[in-house]
C-alpha cells in the first residue's frame, strides 16, 4: 500500500523469472558470478530508477508528488504575503485623498512614480 508521500516511482522495477535477481554476470547455469544488488532489494534503500527518463520528464514526475506540491504552495504563499506587505508599506508612504483610500497594486505603482517625479522636481527648484 502506498502512503501519500510515495509514488509508483518508489517501487522497485519488476523482474521476470528468467532475469537474475542480481544485476551481475552469469555463468552457463544461470548463477550470478558478480552479484550486484538490484535497486529495491530487501535490506537496501529504495531508489528511484529514473536514469532512462529525460531531465524534463524526471523534473515533471518529481513535481507531481503531493509532498512537492505542498512545499511549493507553502513557498508561494510566503512569497505572496511578502509581496503584499511590501505594497502595503509603499502605500503608507504615498499621499492620497482620502488617506485611507484603497488602491490597486498598479495604482500604487503609478502613484509612486508620480510622487517620486514630483519630489525630484521640488529638489531641482
- What letter would DSSP give residue 5? T
CATH class for the domain made up of 55-124: few secondary structures
Residue 19 has pLDDT above 50, yes or no: no
Question: What phi and psi values does residue 26 have, to the nearest 5 degrees?
Answer: -125, 155
CA distance 114 to 94: 10
Has this prediction a pTM greater than 0.85? no
Average pLDDT (116-120) is: 96
32 DSSP β-pair partners: 26
Domain map of the chain by residue range? 55-124
pLDDT in tens, 21-74: 444 444 455 555 444 444 445 554 444 566 788 988 888 888 889 999 999 999
Task: Give the contacts of 66 (CB within 8 A, at least 6 positions apart).
Answer: 4, 5
37 DSSP β-pair partners: 22
Q: What is the dihedral of CA 102, 103, 104, 106, to 10 degrees?
A: -170
Residue 89 has pLDDT above 70, yes or no: yes
Amino acid at each position: 500500500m502506498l502512503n501519500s508521500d510515495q509514488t509508483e516511482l518508489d517501487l522497485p522495477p519488476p523482474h521476470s523469472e528468467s532475469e537474475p535477481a542480481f544485476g551481475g554476470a552469469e555463468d552457463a547455469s544461470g548463477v550470478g558470478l558478480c552479484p550486484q544488488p538490484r535497486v529495491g532489494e530487501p535490506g537496501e534503500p529504495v531508489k528511484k530508477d529514473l536514469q532512462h527518463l529525460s531531465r524534463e520528464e524526471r523534473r515533471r514526475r518529481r513535481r507531481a508528488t503531493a509532498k512537492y506540491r505542498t512545499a511549493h504552495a507553502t513557498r508561494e504563499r510566503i512569497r505572496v504575503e511578502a509581496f503584499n506587505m511590501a505594497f502595503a508599506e509603499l502605500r503608507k508612504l504615498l499621499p492620497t485623498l482620502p488617506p485611507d483610500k484603497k488602491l490597486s497594486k498598479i495604482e500604487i505603482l503609478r502613484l509612486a512614480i508620480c510622487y517620486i517625479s514630483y519630489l525630484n522636481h521640488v529638489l531641482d527648484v
